[in-house]
Amino acid sequence: MSVKYIPVQWNPNKWVYDAIMLAGVAAFLWLFLYRTPETLGYDPAINPQIHNARAFGACAFVMLTVILCIGPLARLDRRFLPLLYNRRHFGVMTAFVALTHAGYILNWYFAFSSSDKFVGLLYANSSFGQVAGFPFEVFGIFALLCLLILAATSHDFWLKFLTPPVWKRLHYLIYAAYFSVAAHVSLGILQDQQNHLFTALFLMGAGAVVVLHLAAWRAESGAKAAAHDGNWVHVADASAFREGFAKITRLPNGDRVAVFLMEGQLSAIANACAHQNGPLGEGKIIDCLVTCPWHGFQYDVRTGRSPAPFTEKVPTYNLRLVGNTVEVNADANPPGTYVEPVALPQTGSEVPA
């Protein structure tokens, strides 16, 4: 698969991922619309249009919270990685849910205004000099614009066109969107709540995002690079490798290297896929090619090159065997450089498969 405007093919994992996501959204909306009115205890009672708007708004907030929790969870525990692989689908769906919320708001609160409803949305409240009654709508508008930009640029075309560094920085807007949603909710519905159940749930969700990101940051900043001798970095004992799989080592400069065992020989490539920095070391080798578990990009572990006609390349690394210890040179070779594999010594005991 290539980033040259060729879409990533659907597979059973993507279908299952999206089916579970859609089922979760439907279940949340059903519970909010039909099971929570008595629990939330609206006083005075609200009409169905406002209740629908709040249902989709709450759903968008929950989805955005889950999206921002997936990243740190995956860094803390690899069992959460499957949730990370197709997170872009989650983001696009969140944008549609948020847009539906905005549609209900516009078509109820401003539909009967003598002025255009978009003009009414922007000018109905201009009390910027106070906290109570602050025009929280501006935060919602900004958050929605961020989500729509992220959804519109989620396709690989934009990743290739903008270049991965620019695309990645652009998608940091997810944090600005979440901050704006939190401000939108705090200055809006929370100031109108008689029942504080939703307030507690809101604080728990926002707190989970903050705590998980701090925990992931602490775990990664506390992780030490592998022991090294000059420019050579310890990877593992030769007996620790499994045929077709990799050992991942962190270099002193923070980069990670995936060292694969293929047919009794070791090869090392950068752990980051050229597509979206997916973890190549979590893929398995088939016919000399490792497949990135995120989106299916493939690389020859001896050269770091994608098979023709694709042109993606990742850096390779030199290896050496010192006794029974495998070491990698910390200096990366240019992407696509062939490196002669290092053969493991033949002993009486076979390398575990």
User: pLDDT tens-digit profile of 279-311?
Assistant: 888 888 887 899 887 777 899 999 999 998 888
Termini Cα distance of the chain: 28
Provide the 3-class DSSP secondary structure of residue 224: coil
| Separation of alpha carbons 254 and 271, rounded Å | 11
Domain definitions of the chain by residue range: 12-222, 228-343
pLDDT tens per residue across span 100-156 = 999 998 888 777 767 777 777 777 776 666 666 678 888 999 999 999 999 999 887
pLDDT tens per residue across span 53-78 = 889 999 999 999 999 999 899 888 87
Q: 200 or 126: whose pLDDT is higher?
A: 200
pTM, rounded to two decimals? 0.71
Number of H helices, E strands in the chain: 11, 12
| Exposure string for 36-56, b = 16+ CB within 10 A, e = fewer | beeebebeeeeeeeebbbbbb
CA distances from 128 to 82, 116, 138 (A): 43, 22, 10
CATH T-level topology, domain 228-343:
Rieske Iron-sulfur Protein (2.102.10)
| Separation of alpha carbons 253 and 234, rounded Å | 14
Q: 17-31, 67-81, 164-178, 179-193 — which is least confidently predicted?
A: 179-193
Phi-psi sector, 244: left (phi>0), alpha (psi -120 to 50), beta: left
Q: For residue 343, what are its two tokens?
A: 């053969």
| Separation of alpha carbons 301 and 286, rounded Å | 10
DSSP tag of 244: T
Over range 161-177, report the average pLDDT.
87
| Separation of alpha carbons 19 and 24, rounded Å | 9
Provide the 3-class DSSP secondary structure of residue 11: coil
Alpha-helical regions (H) of the chain: 12-34, 37-40, 48-76, 81-85, 87-109, 117-123, 137-152, 156-162, 164-170, 173-187, 197-222
Mean pLDDT: which of 16-25, 107-116, 162-171 is highest?
A: 16-25
Residue pair 21/89 in contact by the 8 Å Cβ criterion: yes
| Separation of alpha carbons 21 and 67, rounded Å | 11
